[in-house]
Amino acid sequence: MPGADGRFAPSPTGSLHLGNLRTALLGWRFARSAGARFLVRMEDLDRARVRAGSEAEQLADLAALGLDWDGPVVRQSERAELYAEALARLEADGLIYPCFCTRAEIREAASAPHGGARPEGAYPGTCAHLSARERAARERAGRPPALRFRAGEVAVTVEDRIAGARTFRVDDPVVRRNDGAFAYHLAVVVDDAEQGVGEVVRGEDLLPSAARQVLLARALGLPSPRYAHVPLMRGPDGARLAKRHGAVTLAERRALGQTPAQVRAALLASARGLIERFGLESVPDPFAFRTDPGRSRRSP
Ligand code: GLU
């Protein structure tokens, strides 16, 4: 059974916004209150979206808010061997098939009327049951396939600490993209298990993904972590926090004259209900030690 070790796994594709930072803070407090490790992992597999300098900026933001982490920062771009090994196991079990669909084809097929209810944006299964002839014809057409995990449209229930038990129909997730890059769902399952992560605290937009990940972990014989999907931070208009809402990054808040300690306090205040639910009040706030820079952290 996995323990209480937690992690924050941002994609270094730009600045973290306050919602990401609040999630990181909650995950960190949750891990530390259990005396557990807290890990940081850079999810940098999508090379086209990675931005130079983004990792350093994200880590500096976490540190400025008083978060610390155990061991070196792990980068998914350096772990291809682990993902290849997992993919080979799924292939050996007959759970992988090539998918030749373009995005536009998936959109079209997904919007066509069909029998069973499918989650929005779900893969409609076009390539799941190609005959050998159909497959060969698509191979001849020359478009390199992505690889999908055959989930078989089963329903999976995720036990979430915040959302409770939620059931999702799982479509067949891409595990390797058609440009050869390993895909998020495979990497996250392999990494959380390999790194010994037992508690995943992340944004609630990933709750349906947890179902795919539970299923993939099961197929790989890996443990699944427990999940706490945290409500997203919203702007005054109720929409998910975004640039147009004004100062939404730590740097932007600092430019307005706020200190990291003030931003942190505001983030924690906005999550008070969740903190109570998690029972995190006992964790000392590191800024309490830092109000007088002349004093050593250890002195009373
Ligand atoms: N890298 C993902 C993101 O930044 C988070 C994945 C996860 O926490 O499982 O949205």
Structure tokens at 224: 């699944």
E strands within 173-225? 174-176, 199-203
pLDDT digits (tens, 9 = 90+) for 175-230: 999 999 999 999 999 999 999 999 999 999 999 999 999 999 999 999 999 999 99
Q: 194 or 279: whose pLDDT is higher? A: 194
* 117-145: average pLDDT: 87
201 Cβ inside 6 Å of ligand 1: no
- Indicate the pLDDT class of residue 131, thresholds 50, 70 and 90: very high
pLDDT at residue 279, rounded to an integer: 61
pLDDT at residue 153, rounded to an integer: 82
Q: SS3 of 45, please?
A: coil
What distance in angstroms lies between residue 187's CA and the mean position of ligand 1's atoms? Answer: 11
Which residue in 3, 12, 5, 145 sits closest to 77, CA to CA?
A: 12
The pLDDT of residue 113 is above 80: no
Q: SS3 of 248, please?
A: coil
206 Cβ inside 6 Å of ligand 1: yes
11 Cβ inside 6 Å of ligand 1: yes
What distance in angstroms lies between residue 24's CA and the mean position of ligand 1's atoms? Answer: 11
Cα–Cα distance measured from residue 264 to residue 115, given in angstroms and rounded to the nearest whole number: 49
What distance in angstroms lies between residue 11's CA and the mean position of ligand 1's atoms? Answer: 7
* 75-102: average pLDDT: 97
Cα–Cα distance measured from residue 100 to residue 78, given in angstroms and rounded to the nearest whole number: 27
The pLDDT of residue 287 is above 70: no
pLDDT at residue 273, rounded to an integer: 82
Cα–Cα distance measured from residue 209 to residue 121, given in angstroms and rounded to the nearest whole number: 12
What distance in angstroms lies between residue 74's CA and the mean position of ligand 1's atoms? Answer: 14
Q: Which of 202, 209, 214, 230 to mutate to test the pocket of ligand 1 (most atoms within 8 A of CB)?
A: 202
Nearest CA to ligand 1 atom 2: 10
- Indicate the pLDDT class of residue 114, thresholds 50, 70 and 90: low
54 Cβ inside 6 Å of ligand 1: no
191 Cβ inside 6 Å of ligand 1: no
The pLDDT of residue 118 is above 80: no
Q: SS3 of 27, please?
A: helix
- Indicate the pLDDT class of residue 50, thresholds 50, 70 and 90: very high
Q: Is 96 exposed, middle or buried (0-12, 13-18, 19+ CB in 10 A)?
A: buried
Cα–Cα distance measured from residue 86 to residue 89, given in angstroms and rounded to the nearest whole number: 5
**Active site residues per annotation:** 243
* 237-262: average pLDDT: 93
The pLDDT of residue 105 is above 80: yes
pLDDT at residue 296, rounded to an integer: 38
43 Cβ inside 6 Å of ligand 1: yes
pLDDT at residue 288, rounded to an integer: 42
Residue for token pair 């058609």 = 178
